[in-house]
Structure 1
Amino acid sequence: MLVPHSPTTTTCHRRSSALAQQIPHLYSFKYLHKRQPHAVNGRQTPPAVVDNQQQDSWQDSNAADVLQGCTAAPAAEAAPQQQQIKEQFDWFKAWYPVAVLEDLDPALPCQVRLLGMDLAVWWDRTAGQWRAFQDRCPHRLAPLSEGRIDDASGHLYCNYHGWTFEGSGACSGIPQLPQGQAINSRKACVASYPTAAREGLLWVWPDASAAAAAESAAESAWPGLAPELEQRGAAAHSSRHGWYFRDLPTPWLAVKENADNDASHDTVLHHGAGFSNRQYAKPLAMQLQEMTPTGYTVSEASGQFTDTIRFPCGARRDYGVSAGVAYIVPTGVGTTRQYHAFLTPQPAKRTASNSSGRPVVPPRTLKGRLQALLRAVRPVWAWHMFSHLLVDADLAMQRSVDINRSRDDRVYMPAAADAGPAAYMRWLKEYGSGGPPVAKLASPYMGADPAQPRSRQQLLDRFDSHTQQCKACRTAYQRLQVARQVAAVVALLAGGAAVAAAALLASGVVGSSSSSGGVLGRGVAVVLGLWAAGGLAGGLWAAFGRILQSFVFVDYDKHHPSKM
């Protein structure tokens, strides 16, 4: 339940009744602790958990005080009522995406993080599925993600002492024991978590109990919001560029609040990115449609778009024929991984009623056609560069939001456009126990005295947080490095050849009096051509350098469109 706070002034001027609907309120954004009643400039705020009737009556008394222009008096204490205990969301009995499937290498195990746990992900060729183990060998606690896949058995092989583990987590071999000796101790097993490969992502259920297999198999437990990607080729929608992801050095609470849940920031913060423009900022009549123990839905009153939030990590914004989907995954203390994809309509298949044989496509505006053309010609890595532009802006804000929230968590939301963030706060209080346990721990940006802010290079890093882990971007980065080296060699060779040719012409070897004018002209043309080739190669070398830098770090303050 949202916690209203008293205005910071106690004496108000008279206002007309027309402003009664515009009275601002302050809401608490404290997830970790329930606020106790306390006085603010002589006024007592209500308890942190009150029912709707109590909260509304308190807000109405505030409005009456403002309209009467009187000095605020202490609010009367509401009669105690029996609190209804609502079903609480279990953060460890839910599905989370941990990797993009096309970025995983079946030949090598890798480490992923989820809810503060290190997991070793590997391909079990015997069962034909991905596995997720606790990333620690029970022998001497070595990371199994640093191991390999055993050639003979296909089991996960620990590179420290050679222990092997089958897909269930049972130990299948210990080289230091006599050959043939059975390994029956449960202490030799590794915790194995349920996995699922859906929507182009690898999902993990972070519970290794005996009931985990049955609980995770229930379709009602599935939180996916991109069913169109289950069968990309036959779906009515597709994401041509697949999933974008990035590891963020910011806590989950702020990132989840923002993604596909705060529509009013898109035109302002992302000004200049795509078709976003701060001049389009306007009132949005957002309305909360429903709230359940698994999430909520907020829609724009005129039907422009609808935001569907499904916990533990999903968010989807539907724009009619297209949609954006994001998954915000709490990975550790003060760290988050964000996935997002834009789903765009595919042409409908030929039908009997379509006698012309032409594909039936939804009507498009000029803006939509330009966007479709851009998506068709833009490579995956270039699409990821555009996504970096959006995430950089969000990161710059979320880092400071976390610092400010640790000092004073009250927020001011007078507009209907804030219905999404308000519903998010309410859901966490009523159903989410304040958020995932790891997201509520002290982080570099939370606590009584936040640590020094990270540098821009650390905060906005792209190389470690994305490029090295993304197959498309890693490949493009390596190819651009080679292309830049080739351009440098060509520039040097062409420049050297041009200098040599010019020297020959100047010395008269080519341009002697016995030479014809045609030969001299061709010699000059060769020199100019070599200079042009060298200049072009040098320009490509510089351009490739700038593109390569965009895979590593771009300073938000100096280059982001919203700062210009």
Structure 2
Amino acid sequence: MISEFNFFHHWYPLIPIEDIDSNSPTPVTLLGLRLVIWKPRSSTYYQVFLDQCPHRLAPLSEGRIDENSDNLMCSYHGWEFDQNGICTSIPQTENTKILTKNKQQFACVSFPSRQINGLLWVWPDKNSQDLANKTPLPLSPQIDADKGFIWSSYVRDMAYDWQTLVENVADPSHVPYAHHGVQGNRNNGQPIPIEIVKSTPNVIEAKIERALNSTITFEPPCRLEYAIKIGDSNKQVGLVVYCVPVAPGKSRLVGQFPRNFAKSLMKIIPRWWEHLTTRHLVLEGDMILLQQQEYYLQEKQETQSWKTAYQLPTEADRLVIEFRRWFDTYCQGKLPWEQVGINDTHLTINDNRHEVLDRYHQHTQHCSSCRNALNNVKKLQFILLILAIFSLIGCSIMPDEFRQQWGLLLGGFIVIELGIYSWLKWWLEPRFYFVDYIHADKK
């Protein structure tokens, strides 16, 4: 008998540790569970709680880390919780024995968590701590500095489902077309002979033998990894994507991008610039396509299987087929939304491109590098505007003899200041919020 895959008995990365704001609680959703990430200021380890105060179920993510106790304080009634989830203070009572007597009853729901490879991991079942301790994390062998690798990280909330995200990353043949001019060229599209070399309940492995020999590994439910060797050299570049199920029609991509060459270049390029000019564009190249594709697939699956809804005649489709077979065999073709009380999983097409391609809410607010860069861009605009105003005032009140000598130079400074201000205001700043992606414009 085939055992059913349990999505709640696996480790998931929630976010790169460098992106967590340690000064305030951070909300996040996994498998329909609303969680909160926080840590005492005196600790280096983050905790993951259910985002509900046991008192009246208010969201703890709206709380604060108290300066005196270093505990998580609920902003509704001031109840406080330590890093183990134990309630340490109830302002509405002077009877301290009530805390001791009801220690477990008043405690927050706390989930097992780990901090490894620069990511915060969580085990989304509070009742299986022993199993969590025995279960290895789905770590990438390429995220290893001892092997000579260096990597960058990225997180983005996607406007489509987990299964669509897995299917898309498992399909390299779309790259020259969906990512033309960014990561590929539509004129270079060619057959991709994918060979499935292993398929079990716990892993699917495939390989592509061509100019860039690639090994693709899917370790359910979240790690999907490419290891790409460049020619006959020892150079290797990787793509490590953790596909995180969030809610029906929603997923989160936590990505790591390792390589063992050109290390200085990765250190020189600011992380936020890489996100704006590369990572965003790759994901936005197929965001609209996939958001609508999954709607039509769900609609067709009401009367037929994906096997007839899709037409998959080439070797390039083999990994997609293998994933779909795995999903049908071990998950009955569905995610466990009913287990968390989500019964309505019907999807709709969102024609609002500003929502589907919303960089700010999908990424910027979650990324420390982009948050800080955006704040600095706004500050620099203010400084440049003030300088331009004072330069203009200075030029206007300057005595004629000084104006003849210095006026042209000062006027040049004003033009430069306003030019940089305009570039920041009208070109750079909007890229932290929204950039439309029109395939017809990609020549």
Which residues of 2 match residues 123-522 of structure 1 at below 5 A? 123-124=39-40, 129-182=45-98, 183-185=100-102, 186-209=104-127, 212-219=128-135, 221-225=136-140, 228-229=143-144, 232=145, 234-239=146-151, 242-259=152-169, 261-274=170-183, 276-302=184-210, 304-320=213-229, 321-345=236-260, 374-385=265-276, 386-409=278-301, 410-438=309-337, 447=346, 451=348, 453-495=350-392, 497=394, 510=401
1:149 CA displacement: 2.8
- Contact 1:225-1:315 within 8 A present in 2 as well: no
Contact 1:295 / 1:310 at 8 angstroms: preserved in 2? yes
The offset of 1:126, in angstroms, is 7.5
Q: Aligned partner of 1:278: which letter?
A: R
Distance 1:318 1:227, change over 3 A: closer
**Is 1:498–1:527's contact at 8 Å kept on the other side of the alignment?**
yes
Amino acid at match of 2:429: L
The answer to whether the Cα contact below 8 Å between 1:270 and 1:562 also exists between their aligned partners in 2 is no
Compute the displacement of 1:540 (Å). 0.7
- Aligned counterparts of 1:562 and 1:305: Cα–Cα separation in 2: 31
Quick check: 1:329–1:337 contact (8 Å CA) kept in 2?
yes
State yes or no: 1:549 paired with 2:421: no
Pick one of 7, 21, 35 that aligns with 1:119: 35
Could you tell me how far 1:173 is from its partner in structure 2?
A: 2.9
Q: Deviations over 1:469-522 (max 9, x none)?
A: 211111111111111222223334444555666xx7xxxx54xxxxxxxxxxx9
For residues 230-289 of structure 1, the C-alpha deviation after alignment (integer angstroms, 9 at most, x for no partner) is: xx4x452111xx311111222222112112x11111121111115x21122111111111
Match of 1:353 in 2: none
Q: Secondary structure in 2 aligned to 1:243?
A: strand
Decide whether aligned partners of structure 1 residues 184 and 306 sit closer, same or farther in structure 2, where only a CA change above 3 A counts: same
Contact 1:334 1:439 (8 Å CA) reproduced: no
Q: Structure 1: where are the runs of 5+ without partners?
A: 1-84, 347-368, 511-521
Q: What is the TM-score of this pair, normalised by structure 2?
A: 0.87
1: distance between equivalents of 2:189 and 2:168?
17
Structure 1 residue 128 displacement after superposition: 5.3
What do residues 514-554 of structure 1 show as CA deviations (whole Å, max 9, x unaligned)? xxxxxxxx965633323322222221112112101100101
Q: Within 1, Cα distance between the matches of 2:17 and 2:441?
A: 33
Contact 1:251 1:439 (8 Å CA) reproduced: no
Separation of aligned partners in 1, 2:206 and 2:192: 12
CA distance, structure 2, for counterparts of residue 225 and residue 539 of structure 1: 45
Answer with 179-188 or 246-255: which moved more: 179-188
Cα shift at 1:429: 0.8
1:70-118 CA deviation, whole Å, 9 max, x = no partner? xxxxxxxxxxxxxxx3232110111111122112233322211111111
Equivalent pairs counted in the alignment come to: 423
Look up the SS of the partner of 2:281 in the other structure: helix
Scaled by the length of structure 1, what TM-score is found? 0.70
In structure 2, C-alpha distance between the alignment counterparts of 1:315 and 1:439, rounded to whole Å: 25
Larger Rg: 1
SS at match of 1:316: strand
Distance 2:334 2:298 in 1: 16
Contact 1:131/1:167 (<8 A) preserved: yes
Instruction: Give the superposition deviation at 1:200.
Output: 0.7
- Structure 2: how far apart are the matches of 1:526 and 1:140? 68
Q: Matched residues in 2 for 1:423 and 1:293: separation?
A: 11
Residue 438 of structure 2 corresponds to residue 539 of structure 1: no
CA distance in 2, matches of 1:463, 1:122: 22
Q: Secondary structure at the match of 1:129?
A: coil
Question: Measured at CA, do residues 252 and 225 of structure 1 come closer, stay the same or move farther in structure 2, by a change above 3 Å?
Answer: same
Instruction: Quote the offset at 1:191 in angstroms.
Output: 1.5
Contiguous gaps of at least 5 residues in structure 2: 230-235, 302-308
Contact map agreement 2:208 2:215 (CA 8 A) in 1: yes
Q: What is the identity percentage for the equivalent residue pairs of Structure 1 and Structure 2?
A: 29
Supply the AA of the counterpart residue of 1:279: N
Give per-residue Cα distances to partners, 1:30-64, cap 9 Å, x unaligned: xxxxxxxxxxxxxxxxxxxxxxxxxxxxxxxxxxx
Are 1:563 and 2:439 counterparts? Answer: no
* Distance (whole Å) between structure 2 residues aligned to residue 160 and residue 90 of structure 1: 35
CA distance in 1, matches of 2:349, 2:292: 11
The amino acid across from 2:155 in the alignment is F
Q: Compared with structure 1, are the counterparts of its residues 108 and 373 closer, same or farther at alpha carbon in structure 2 (3 Å cutoff)? A: closer
Q: Write out aligned runs for 1:1-80 (5 A).
A: none
Q: Which amino acid aligns with 1:189?
A: A
Distance 1:128 1:550, change over 3 A: closer
Structure 1 residues 493 and 284, CA, compared in 2 at 3 Å: closer, same or farther? same
SS in 2 for 1:390: helix
2:286 aligned counterpart, secondary structure? helix
CA–CA separation in structure 2 for the residues paired with 1:195 and 1:376:
29
Amino acid aligned to 1:399? Q
Task: Give the superposition deviation at 1:125.
Answer: 6.3
The 3 A distance-change label for structure 1 pair 314 and 329 is same
Cross-structure match for 1:366: none
For 1:108, what is the secondary structure of its paired residue? coil
